[in-house]
A and B are shown apart, each in its own frame.
Chain A
Amino acid sequence: MMDERTQQLLNAELDGELVPAERLELDALLAARPELRQERDGLQGLARRLREAPDLDPPPDLARRVIALINLPSRLQPRRRAPHWAPSPMGLPFAALAAGLTAAVLTYWSIPDGPVADNSVRMVGSMVGVQARVGAEPQDSLAVTLDAISGQVTLGTSAEDRRILAFELNSANPVDIAVNLAGSGLQFDGFARGETGVDLVATDSEALHLRSEGARSFAVFLRGPDASPAAKLRIGLAFSEGEKALYRGALEAP
């Protein structure tokens, strides 16, 4: 068993961090203890293997995506088209939420007339990548009534066949919301919020992660699937506060 000091010296040598006095100390140890030389060979071999593992090329459009996001506000032009509403009686609560949300969003950034130039860009920000013509029809909804968080999440469609996941939530503390899209064929297309206090903190290949605090209205826009799904679409939702899981559920749509 190697003592801590010897371990430190071997690792410091490998990392090029030995000072001259330590160099002498390690050389003396290596001369006296053959098993240390074997240990050193093992460490050096490991480091060599790690060096040989090649770097990966970032996705070719990564820089463009980042710059597109940074440039976003200046790309947007003044809105010239009034929003079109087509609520059904059943859809009135959802449409009202969507209307309020859209109005609030418009106070942030104006919306371009027509589609945003590059819908393939994943947007992480305030309000992006979607047209504001929200003709809403609720397909499913989920009510959450807990001490930590309460409110409703509604799944609907927009006039452009995008799905809209509209949140109306109230929580005293920050709550993390994971939206699981795995297997649904849906892709993230945009995020809208009426005010600060809610953030889309990350997107990855199959999930979105949001954080909300206080009384908030916000929406996630999804597109796809490209082909008609064989089964119902299912979107998983998980709410948590820090490490503590609060609630999980799912929304389904034809």
Chain B
Amino acid sequence: MERCRNGDRRALQLLVERYQRPVFNAAYRILGNRDDAADATQVTFLKVFEHLDSYDAKYKLFSWIYRIVVNESIDQLKRKHQLQALDDDEEAGIDGPEELAASELLSRQVQAGLMELSDEYRVVMVLRHFSECSYEQIAEVLKIPEKTVKSRIYTARQQLKGVLAARGVSWT
């Protein structure tokens, strides 16, 4: 981090390479769209570099980066909702399943199910199940009490079970 703060571009590149995959995947699972996830990831790293000086080392680096990508993704969702409300844009649908590999199909079904959750529930599911954050880490990223994290995760799981079951995804 010190090298990044000093403008060491090699260090910055290593930081991007280290975190781009988890950041991109977190953004994708929140936004449901690869292009939007790529944009959110790009903006996230730009904000990281822009605010390196204000980074507080008492927080874990990944928590700080996740907080930025979660906030950026939620902001992007809000802007998109606003545009859709104004212009009735159609979100790209899920491709037909016939040519998809099973894992890809599952991934898309799971994603479609996640997108049916409200933002606050989807975010905790993404952080817990895809980013593998602990309750404590999620609480730190979202700046909410651990008790709230637990409650949201429980409700989100119940809702996701119902949504996925309705989509024909089984887990028994």
Contacts and interface: CB of A to CB of B under 8 A. Distances in A.
B86 A236 contact: yes
Interface string B124-148: 0100111000110000000000000
A47 B134 CA distance: 14
A201 B44 CA distance: 11
Contacts, number: 151
B38 interface: yes
A11 B42 contact: no
A44 to B, nearest CB: 8
B79 A15 contact: no
B25 A207 contact: no
A62 B154 contact: no
Contact of A53 (B36, B110, B154): B110
Given A49-B106, A63-B16, A70-B9, A204 B80 contact: yes
Identify whether the interface residues of B are mostly helix, strand, loop, or mixed: helix
A46 B39 contact: no
B83 interface: yes
Interface of B: 9, 12-13, 16-17, 20-21, 24-25, 28, 33-43, 45-46, 49, 72, 75-76, 79-80, 82-83, 85-87, 89, 103-104, 106-107, 110-111, 125, 128-130, 134-135, 150, 153-154, 157, 160-161, 164, 169-172
5 contacts: A15-B153, A46-B161, A63-B17, A67-B12, A202-B43
